[in-house]
Amino acid sequence: MKVLVVGSGGREHALAWKIAKSPRVKKLFCAPGNAGTMSIAENIAISDSDIQSLADFAAREPIDLTVVGPELPLTLGIVDEFEKKGLRIFGPTKKAAELEGSKIFAKQFMERHKIPTARFKIAESPEKAQSILKSGEFSVPVVIKADGLAAGKGVIICPSLEEAEKTIQSIMVAKQFGDAGNRVLIEECLQGKEVSFIVISDGARVLPLVTTMDYKAIYNGDRGPNTGGMGAISPSPFLTKKMFAEVVNTIVLPTITRMREEGRKYKGALYVGLMLTEDGPKVLEYNGRFGDPETQPQMLRLESDLVEILLSAIEEDVLVHEVQWSSKASACVILASGGYPGSYEKGKVIKGLEQALENPDITIFHAGTRFENGQFLTNGGRVLGVCSSERKLAEAMENIYHAVSGIFFEGMQYRRDIGTKREEEE
Ligand code: AMP
Ligand code: GLY
């Protein structure tokens, strides 16, 4: 088979790494890929949002299976476009991807179907937003969300009413996130532990992946602004077996069933961001894709053939019982550019990669990297994901931090508390 992975992050490198191990795969492409995917696949210089060129490439090759990593091409309708051309592709259609593409659609969907989530109000104008805030209906901290995709930055937790009013001003009036700020959600702030619950669905049934959680804040101790994720571990120490079943039965399966009933059959990866509150698990958000960095530790633990799994989901008979996972604990620590999640410079030379990889217990997934004149250079905010899998999480963390100590690029920043702090809180 010829397989194409769309995207260029750590998630896509991890997916490509696992796909490349499948005996069914004869040729692997990544579009556009990064300096890591280069060594296991042929990188194709097509942007992940250039759906037309991707579909033309896939038809020409022809590609037997396309796997989409990021949300943008999905919400732009890449799956519909490929299916129109008779090309096999893994991911939700445009209508199904709206669960991620529009937070308001997602909230109204949950409200319609009594899927547990934070209490919310929608505001279509800054005046309406200010009046909701003034009404006292939501106590502080209060959460404000831009409706559309805002590169993971459109969610602001406001500690005071003043902050909330300023946030409305910058999202809805100054249009900080462009048109994504035409409408906002004002939401109750949920308290509890956060986990990422990720499944592969065939439109009716689901295969839950091993449990995982990421570390969203930029600094140690969950301080500082949110990022796409500075690290992840699997399993998540917080999701008990009982809770797992509750999430599948009260959240995941109803979501898949109701989407189908609404004419938006959901096939692909579904990522449910959950807050484990005192009143049970509640949905923070849906993503129509695998997590990044969560996919990195998850792929390290997957023993079955990922290609077989993805094909079974597309054929609407997802493998539910046969999939094998390692019982080990795995983790990923992200090395990011100085300044991320704000502005940062690119093109810094990365040193020490080869030595780090001399340890067979270390896997490094590339994200924002490129290869030029025999050197690896930084090319994005999140640069590398250093991963390991061991019988005990602490051992994996030891491997990872030892490897990290030998890697360097100017401005490099990373969290030193991945895999430890939150467990110790318990
Ligand atoms: P979202 O993009 O909706 O997942 O939001 C990004 C992050 O903001 C989540 O991962 C949570 O950490 C936080 N968040 C979102 N909604 C809420 C909420 N209602 N209460 C508390 N935290 C939230
Ligand atoms: N790690 C968060 C996400 O993939 O959305």
C-beta separation of 20 from 5 below 8 A: no
Residue whose Cα lies nearest atom 5 of ligand 2: it is 291
Superfamily covering domain 329-425 = Phosphoribosylglycinamide synthetase, C-terminal domain (3.90.600.10)
Ligand 1, closest atom to CA 152? 2
Model confidence pLDDT, tens digit, residues 274-319: 999 999 999 999 999 999 999 999 999 999 999 999 999 999 999 9
Query: So what's the pLDDT on residue 94?
Result: 98
Query: So what's the pLDDT on residue 286?
Result: 97
pLDDT at 209 over 80: yes
Residue whose Cα lies nearest atom 11 of ligand 1: it is 284
The per-residue DSSP string of 79-143 comes to: HHHHHHTT--EES--TTTTHHHH-HHHHHHHHHHTT--B--EEEESSHHHHHHHHHTTSSPSSEE
Q: Give ranges for CATH 3.30.1490.20 in the chain.
A: 119-188
Residue whose Cα lies nearest atom 4 of ligand 2: it is 291
Question: Is the backbone of residue 397 left (phi > 0), alpha (psi -120 to 50) or beta?
Answer: alpha
Ligand nearest the Cα atom of residue 99: 1
Domain 2-93 has what CATH class?
alpha beta
Q: How far is the CA of 270 from the centre of ligand 2 (A)?
A: 11
Give the span between the Cα atoms of 163 and 26, in whole angstroms.
54
Ligand nearest the Cα atom of residue 153: 1
Instruction: For domain 119-188, give its CATH number from 3.40.50.300, 3.60.20.40, 3.30.1490.20, 3.40.50.720.
Output: 3.30.1490.20
Q: Name every protein residue with a CB atom under 6 angstroms from any ligand 1 atom.
A: 118, 143, 145, 155, 157, 187-190, 194, 216, 226, 273, 284-285
Ligand 2, closest atom to CA 216? 1
pLDDT at 213 over 80: yes
Superfamily covering domain 193-314 = ATP-grasp fold, B domain (3.30.470.20)
Residue whose Cα lies nearest atom 4 of ligand 1: it is 285
> Which band of pLDDT confidence, cut at 50, 70 and 90, is reported for residue 423?
very low
Q: How far is the CA of 330 from the centre of ligand 2 (A)?
A: 17
Instruction: Find the mean pLDDT for residues 208-235.
Output: 95
Cβ of residue 71 lying under 6 Å from some atom of ligand 2: no
Q: Give ranges for CATH 3.90.600.10 in the chain.
A: 329-425
Q: Give ranges for CATH 3.30.470.20 in the chain.
A: 193-314
Query: So what's the pLDDT on residue 424?
Result: 44
Q: How far is the CA of 128 from the centre of ligand 2 (A)?
A: 30
Cβ of residue 292 lying under 6 Å from some atom of ligand 2: yes
pLDDT at 24 over 50: yes
pLDDT at 176 over 90: no
pTM: 0.95
Q: What CA–CA distances, in Å, run from 118 to 106, 107, 191, 276?
A: 12, 9, 10, 12
Residue whose Cα lies nearest atom 3 of ligand 2: it is 291
Q: Give ranges for CATH 3.40.50.20 in the chain.
A: 2-93
Q: How high does pLDDT run on average in the chain?
A: 95
